[in-house]
Amino acid sequence: MKKKIGLYFGTFNPIHVGHLAIANHMVEFSDLDEVWLVVTPHNPLKKKSTLLDNHHRLELVYRATEGYDKLKPSDIEFGLPQPNYTVNTLVYLKEKYPDNYFALIMGEDNLLNFHKWKNHDIILAENDIYVYPRVKKNENTQNSFEAHPNVKKVEAPIMEISSTFIRKAIAAQKNIKPLLNNKVWEYIDLMNFYK
Ligand SMILES: Nc1ncnc2c1ncn2[C@@H]1O[C@H](COP(=O)(O)OP(=O)(O)OP(=O)(O)O)[C@@H](O)[C@H]1O
Ligand SMILES: O=C(O)c1ccc[n+]([C@@H]2O[C@H](COP(=O)([O-])O)[C@@H](O)[C@H]2O)c1
């Protein structure tokens, strides 16, 4: 039987407990067998400033997922052209792993911007998207994608933490240890990142 892999794409600069809670919830409370945390070198919609090197962000994802057998860090996008368009990564993954079935994992907030993604119509037609709730800035915003048969809602806990907040807090010398996995915090501290 094909393995069902959920792809959780992210810049992970750095990975925090919000990311980890979602990845773990998705693999435990949906039909996914594994979740791959795909570290993206360059999100087409984001500036590259304040970004840690790819291998450092990957190392942090390794540390965060240690001991979680169903969560796998992935550097698959490191060797692909940048910026990283998800549609291209999906083509590559399906060629490389023909025995796997792949689905995307996305927060409700990302679904609101999904129309800006390259070939989003193809992504949606050819893949399931597992969507988890986020706090909506505008409660009345209707999302036309939500009704699509390939969009599957998974009720996961909402933890409003962001990497931006963590980077700023570290620069301001605040203690944000509870927002990061211990081994992630130790590496950031050791390497003096974000100061
Ligand atoms: N607290 C959170 N709970 C659930 N999903 C999150 C959370 N933070 C980020 N995500 C989602 O996880 C994926 C990867 O996140 P990303 O690396 O962009 O982190 P971020 O915290 O949003 O970063 P930044 O603040 O630098 O933009 C994205 O799809 C993003 O929407
Ligand atoms: O393919 C696109 O056009 C596209 C547009 C915006 C974002 N993405 C991807 O969405 C993922 C989440 O991005 P981020 O920075 O919010 O963690 C990341 O892998 C991006 O490359 C992809």
Ligand nearest to the CA of 19: 1
Residues 6+ apart with CB under 8 A from 144: none
State the distance from the centre of ligand 1 to the C-alpha of 147, rounded, in angstroms: 23
- Residues 167-178: what's their mean pLDDT? 97
Domain 3-159 has CATH 3.40.50.620: yes
> Which stretch of 49-53, 54-58, 145-149 has the lowest confidence by average pLDDT?
49-53
State the distance from the centre of ligand 1 to the C-alpha of 136, rounded, in angstroms: 14
Counting from 1 in the atom list of ligand 2, the atom nearest the Cα of 9 is 19
pTM above 0.90, yes or no: yes
Ligand nearest to the CA of 41: 2
54-65 vs 17-29: helix crossing angle, rounded to 10: 50
Closest CA relative to residue 162, chosen from 107, 111, 82: 107
Q: Is 8 in the pocket of ligand 2 (CB under 6 A)?
A: no
Q: How many helices (H) and strands (E) does the chain have?
A: 7, 6
Intra-chain end-to-end CA distance of the chain, in Å: 48
Whether residue 77 has pLDDT greater than 90:
yes
Whether residue 16 has pLDDT greater than 70:
yes
**Predicted complex: ipTM over 0.90:** yes
The whole-number pLDDT of residue 139 equals: 61
**Residue 139 or residue 36, greater confidence:** 36
**Percentage of the residues of the chain whose pLDDT score is greater than 90:** 85
Where exactly are the structural domains of the chain?
3-159
> Which stretch of 21-35, 134-148, 165-179 has the lowest confidence by average pLDDT?
134-148
State the distance from the centre of ligand 1 to the C-alpha of 94, rounded, in angstroms: 25
